Amino acid sequence: SSCYTGFGNQFEILALHDMKIEGLDIQMRTSSSQNIFVYTRSDTYSENSRHNNFDGGWTMIQNVNVAGNHPSLTSLPNFDAPIMLGAGEKLSFTVAIKHSRSIGFLKGTNNYNAPTDASTDDLIVYEGSSVTNYYGGEVSSCYT
């Protein structure tokens, strides 16, 4: 399938076992250095409760400048503190970039309960949305 670009991605994961998340790999559609912002939210991200414009429930856990590894995945540095999740716990992420539509996404099915190919035996990664605008603390998302 075709890869599109946006200012980031919003998605949700479900831990199937107790786990520790130390960092993320992302699909950057550039080889230049970019500031990447990673936010988390402890509740559900879904079609019916999109959290546009960061209504106070999101926490920034990473602000890092990295060079894209296009066309391969780009590994972000480990988080300052790992994220601990218990079995059955959900966590939502926003990964955003300022001033550049350089984060890749695949056009989805508009089904926010659909697991993606990124799912493993340890966690389910659900389909999310592309970030269409990022202004540093304000996010708009619409594409799935």
Closest-CA residue to 94 (of 35, 34, 33, 52): 52
User: Looking at residue 136, what DSSP letter applies?
Assistant: S
Terminal-to-terminal C-alpha distance of the chain: 14
At 49 the three-state DSSP class reads: helix
Q: Which residue has the higher pLDDT, 81 or 8?
A: 81
Report the alpha-carbon distance of residue 59 to residue 14 in Å, rounded: 18
Global pTM exceeds 0.85:
no
Q: Which helix (H) or strand (E) holds 96?
A: strand 90-97
89-118: pLDDT as tens digits: 999 888 888 766 666 665 555 555 667 777
Q: Which residue has the higher pLDDT, 46 or 131?
A: 131
pLDDT > 90 in the chain, percent: 27
**Other C-beta atoms lying within 10 Å of the C-beta of residue 119:** 14
